[in-house]
Amino acid sequence: MGELMEQVHPQVFRVPAPFANGVAEIYVLLGKQVALIDTGVLGSIPQYVEPALAALNLRLSDVDLVINTHAHPDHIGGNEVVKRLGIAKFAVHAADVPLTTGPEAFLGCRHDVSELFRLAGREDLVVERRAFLLANVGSGVPPDRQLQDGEELDLGRGVLLRVLHTPGHTPGSISLYWEREGTLFTGDSLQGRGVRPGWMPLYFYAADYMRSAARLSEMSVRTLCLGHGYQTGAGYNLPVRRAQDAQRMPRESLEVAKLIDAAVAETLAEGERESFVAFAKAVLARLQYDMPVTLDRALGVPPHSLASIHAHYILKSQGGGPQCQPRRK
């Protein structure tokens, strides 16, 4: 199957879907029903998913269910195409439903990178973000099913997925656990050291992210299917991890979040900074030996890495610790 897809299990296939900012990992599940876990961006379906389905002697009209691990553009962007060309039903956690209404929904919410760009005083990047959204996210597709923690999705032929609410990256992020096979699909709920070398993990709710990583570290997992090829301390970024590597990823994700949390707390204790970017630089200086980052030449910090720093800043400053009020510009 080569570059088209990877057979993870006799009933599970990973379809890598490159786009402008990375690679979305889409999973095809074959039970009595055919399901897609995520749909990538708008162009992912015709460019990557339909050819993969054809190799399995399937068409888009054979897809019965789309399960979105969360409602970010690179995971729901192709929903409209599936809706228009097929019969699939759509399922997402209730907390992420507001983001399923179309491209403009992202620009005003806390858990989108556009908010980070505003924190950095970079309205030019917000304009670029809007253009990306308009080009890569189809029109809104309201979910047919709003998922909750603990419910089960029975696809037949032994494929029984349990929904685990694992917020942090977004409020409605979920993981899907196929207990019989020890297989766990986590979307972006576990991020290790970030999606690229020199980046940090991207999450917007620090306490939730750490609780989710701790929960997933207790699962019995033989195969871990990530939403992207996240980095680890071992220096590789495979989207599918097995055996010890599968078990290590949740632990490392939690350890990295704790490192960021400690660095933010220490920086807060020093008092106010002149801007949020200055605050982030001070945090990164504390982390440079444990988590070396690649700095953005214009901004001085990696823009996407502002997310986790801000998430821990909110957690610590609202938790009664020393107050620091970095200005937005």
Does residue 87 fall inside a structural domain? yes
Q: Report the side by side order of strands in the sheet with 12-19.
A: 6-9, 12-19, 22-30, 34-37, 63-67, 89-93, 145-147
- Contacts of residue 66, Cβ cutoff 8 Å, sequence gap at least 6: 35, 36, 38, 39, 79, 82, 88, 89, 90, 91
% of the chain with per-residue pLDDT over 90? 78
- Asked if the model's pLDDT at residue 325 lies above 60, the reply is no
CA–CA dist 212, 33 (Å, integer): 29
Give the torsion through C-alpha atoms of 16, 201, 254, 314, to 10 deg: -140
pLDDT of 326 reads 34
Structure tokens at 96: 């992420």
Residue pair 311/203 in contact by the 8 Å Cβ criterion = yes
Residue 256: which H helix or E strand, with range? helix 243-269
Residue pair 121/86 in contact by the 8 Å Cβ criterion = no
> What's the first-to-final CA gap in the chain, in angstroms?
49
Q: What is the mean predicted confidence (pLDDT) over 282-293?
A: 91
Strand, coil or helix: what is 52?
A: helix
pLDDT of 294 reads 86
Position with higher pLDDT, 33 vs 116: 33
Does residue 43 fall inside a structural domain? yes
Q: What is the mean predicted confidence (pLDDT) over 179-193?
A: 97
CA–CA dist 5, 51 (Å, integer): 10
CA–CA dist 24, 38 (Å, integer): 9
pLDDT of 248 reads 94
Does residue 239 fall inside a structural domain? yes
C-alpha distances out from residue 299 to 94, 121, 125, 275, Å: 36, 10, 11, 12
CA–CA dist 277, 144 (Å, integer): 41
- Asked if the model's pLDDT at residue 322 lies above 50, the reply is no
Does residue 147 fall inside a structural domain? yes
pTM of the full predicted structure? 0.94
Does residue 284 fall inside a structural domain? no
What is the CATH number for 122?
3.60.15.10
Other CB atoms closer than 10 Å to residue 105's CB: what's the count? 18
Q: Number of H helices and number of E strands within the chain?
A: 10, 13
- Asked if the model's pLDDT at residue 187 lies above 90, the reply is yes
Mean pLDDT of the chain: 92
Q: What is the mean predicted confidence (pLDDT) over 62-82?
A: 97
Structure tokens at 23: 């690679």
User: What is the span of the domain harbouring residue 198?
Assistant: 6-257
CA–CA dist 36, 132 (Å, integer): 23
Does residue 273 fall inside a structural domain? no
Does residue 296 fall inside a structural domain? no
Position with higher pLDDT, 135 vs 327: 135
Strand, coil or helix: what is 185?
A: strand
Q: Report the side by side order of strands in the sheet with 223-226.
A: 152-156, 159-165, 174-178, 183-187, 223-226, 240-242
DSSP string, 117-181: HHHTT-HHHHHHHHHHHHHH--S----SEEE-TT-EEEEETTEEEEEEE--SSSTT-EEEEEGGG
Query: Residue 2: pLDDT band by 50, 70, 90 thresholds?
Result: low
Does residue 303 fall inside a structural domain? no
Q: What is the pLDDT of residues 211-260, one digit of tens each?
A: 999 999 999 999 999 999 998 877 678 999 999 999 999 999 999 999 99
pLDDT of 324 reads 29
Dihedral sign (CA 216, 22, 203, 97): negative
DSSP E strands in the chain: the ranges are: 6-9, 12-19, 22-30, 34-37, 63-67, 89-93, 145-147, 152-156, 159-165, 174-178, 183-187, 223-226, 240-242
Domain count within the chain: 1
